[in-house]
Amino acid sequence: MNDPSLGEHDFANLKKAGIRLHYVAAGDRSKPLMLFLHGFPECWYSWRHQMKAFKKDYRVVAFDLRGYGESDIPSGMHNYTLQALIDDVKELIEELGYSSCVLVAHDWGGEIAWHVAMEYPDLVDKLIINNCGHPVRFMEHLHSHWSQFKKSWYMFFFQLPYLPEILARSKDLHFLNDCYMSRAFGIQSPEMFTTTDLEAMKFSFSNKGTATAAINYYRAIFSTKPMKTKRITCPTILIWGDQDVALEVGIAKGTEKYVDNFTLKIVEGASHWVQQDRPDEVNRLMAEFLKE
């Protein structure tokens, strides 16, 4: 994680939010900003392949979302509402000295990124989402497909107190082994995710309070009033690994109803962790999209 080719570590003090976020940055500061948002249960390191690929043309910045890695871990479910997470992105962009960015996201980071593009459209020049459905499209698919409802069991399990984080922390965070390296759910290209990579993910999830914070993302979204959705106007690409066992590919289809300029690219044989599973293909799709 301290590989200098990935970038330099630093912290941003978000005065409005009252928290400090850890980030890793590379590339010339005069270049446009490319900001990366990770998912559950990840950290900034999940973007290592993309940071190396795009640091020549962008100021690439990947950060630990609040509650993760070396970022602050505020206590209480109320600190993990979508509005708080969206505003973190807004304030971080400003703190980094930019007025807009190419926003790249995966999983829970994608949920945040969709809403950033809706709430603060001037902040997002282009939107790149990996395996995270548009909020409205996801709910449509969830309500109309029992198969997706069953696959989303963990979201409901996370509403229980205490037990989810107890299980998450047990046996040296063994659930991360299952997430990344199991044959069913894990990365389908084993050579792309080593035991060293797994230890990096475990390190970022091992802080006291991180398990509760990460699960509070799910608790807060179930416990607060849904945010209003608006049509997305910036050019958007959704990259989807079709072997995602938690999210059906049908969620991705139909997204054009909610986005003015939309592209969908299916990566066959790739898992939910598509940007780590097939980095060369994802990087190629990103580069082609950015040239348009």
Domains and CATH numbers, the chain: 8-291 (3.40.50.1820)
Q: Is 192 helix (H, G, I), strand (E, B) or coil?
A: helix
Q: Using one digit for the tens of pLDDT, what is the confidence trace for 158-171?
A: 999 999 999 999 99
Spatial distance between the Cα atoms of 93 and 155, rounded to a whole number of angstroms: 30
Please determine, for residue 24, whether its predicted confidence score (pLDDT) is greater than 90: yes
- What pLDDT was estimated at residue 254? 93
Range 113-140 average pLDDT: 97
Q: Is the pLDDT of residue 16 over 90?
A: yes
- Phi first, then psi: what are they for 118, rounded to 5°? -80, -45
Task: Compute the distance between CA of residue 231 and CA of residue 217 in angstroms, rounded to an integer.
Answer: 24
Copy the structure tokens of residue 32. 């446009």
**Mean local confidence (pLDDT), 5-31:** 97
Helix (H, G, I), strand (E, B) or coil at 2: coil
pLDDT above 70 as % of the chain: 100
Mean pLDDT of the chain: 96
> What pLDDT band is residue 225 in, cutting at 50, 70 and 90?
confident
DSSP string spanning 123-154?
A: GEEEEEEES---HHHHHHHHHH-HHHHHHTHH
Q: Residues with catalytic annotation?
A: 107, 218, 272
Q: What is the number of H-type helices and E-type strands within the chain? A: 11, 8
48-76 pLDDT per residue, tens: 999 999 999 999 999 999 999 999 999 99
Reported as a pLDDT band with limits 50, 70 and 90, residue 226 is confident
Strands in 101-106's sheet, in edge-to-edge order, are: 8-14, 19-26, 59-63, 33-37, 101-106, 124-130, 236-241, 262-267
Instruction: State both tokens at 26.
Output: 């590379």
